[in-house]
Amino acid sequence: MKEKKAVFIYSQQLGKYSYPPDCPFNLSRTPRLHKILNSMGLLSGNNISQIAPHKPGREVLEMFHTSRYLDALQNAAKGKFDIEALHMGIGSPDCPVFGDMYKCSVLAAGATLAGAEAILKNEADIAFNPSGGFHHASPEHAAGFCYINDVALACLVLANASKKVLYLDIDVHHGDGVQNLFYNRKDVMTISFHQNGRTLFPGTGFEDEIGIGKGQGYCVNVPLPIDTYDEAYFKAYKQIVPPLLKSYDPDVIVFELGTDTLAGDPLANLKLTNNTYADIIYDLLSFDKPILATGGGGYNIDNTVRAWALAWSVLSGCDRENQHHNIGLGGVMLESTDWFGGLRDRQLAITDQQRQSVTKEIDTTIRAVKKNIFHFHGI
């Protein structure tokens, strides 16, 4: 496999923004990640570069969001808040109003769009914007800490450039905003692995949500039971994603890398370690497709930063080059005494009861997805 050009997208300005102190969504993750990657030498090399995002124009944002909604976001950020904005989800408990709300959301979207542009210009094979991944926002509604849907916009930009896109979302929450946009289209296949909507927000993303019209069979949902662990999760991934990826043969992969599937996340109930993320990325890289990766959820900050550092090390090829050199650095660089085994998490013990209950439910889900989806693709 040829050496891939990897681009890390970062802005010091994004690191200066913050949600209100009582909001679980913490923007300090990205500057902490950037500092650690710099310290470990993971942002330098012949194939690695950094780029800064630019604020996208209003016409770009209106490819997905309505003008009325964008006006309401801007006005609310300036203190001009009304009942119409509240009906759009602005000012709800999970989408609070704060002064930098609009600027922050637009620049985060600009970072993901910069990655898409770098791929379209053949300036990058891999692009990673850890400040992105706001997959819940809809054209006229904020939800789940998301105001502007950067990943939906990026998929649109790529599709409008005649690229066939596979959108893979492994955030613990269903990627509803992106799914809804492409539900009747086949130029963007959406695949979402998430905690079952019966037990977690947003309450959607079931196996029978498969798209409509031209999009039928191009929307794939893999709801997962509480306590899903590495082996079970990766089994579901391997049974579903590689066959579809091979059959669909996309031009580019857009990859939402939320880390709220990790054990210990305060807002969800899965039990993964970051080793599963590395395994998935290695598999995606084997298909030799450009990858635009973003962040997403992740509410245990230390775990999220380490997981994204590991993800970047694999995406950029540094994991193979430095796997011995970096042993022991993860815990030290993260100033954590929890685990000194490097960037990779320790393996977690699985109980017999957990294995039995999770395996049974995941096997049922795999069968349902294959039955509902695979025949559309000759699998």
Q: Which residues participate in catalysis according to the annotation? A: 136
| DSSP one-letter code for 223 | E
Scanning the structure block, which residue is given the tokens 């990673």? 128
Amino acid at 245: L
Question: DSSP secondary structure string, 271-294?
Answer: BB-THHHHHHHHHHHTTT--EEEE
Give the total residue count for the chain.
Answer: 379
Phi, psi of 147 (to 5 degrees): -110, -45
d(CA 140, CA 145): 14
CB 113 within 8 A of CB 157: yes
Ordered strands of the 252-256 beta sheet:
48-51, 6-9, 126-129, 291-294, 252-256, 165-169, 188-195, 219-224
d(CA 201, CA 205): 10
Question: DSSP secondary structure string, 17-81?
Answer: ----TTSS--TTHHHHHHHHHHHTTTT-STTEEEE---PPPHHHHTTTS-HHHHHHHHHHHTT--
d(CA 352, CA 268): 22
How would you label 198-227 residue by residue, b for 16+ Cβ within 10 Å and e otherwise?
A: eebbbebbbbebbbeeebebbbbbbbbbbb
Query: What is the sign of the dihedral through the CA atoms of 217, 219, 220 and 223?
Result: negative
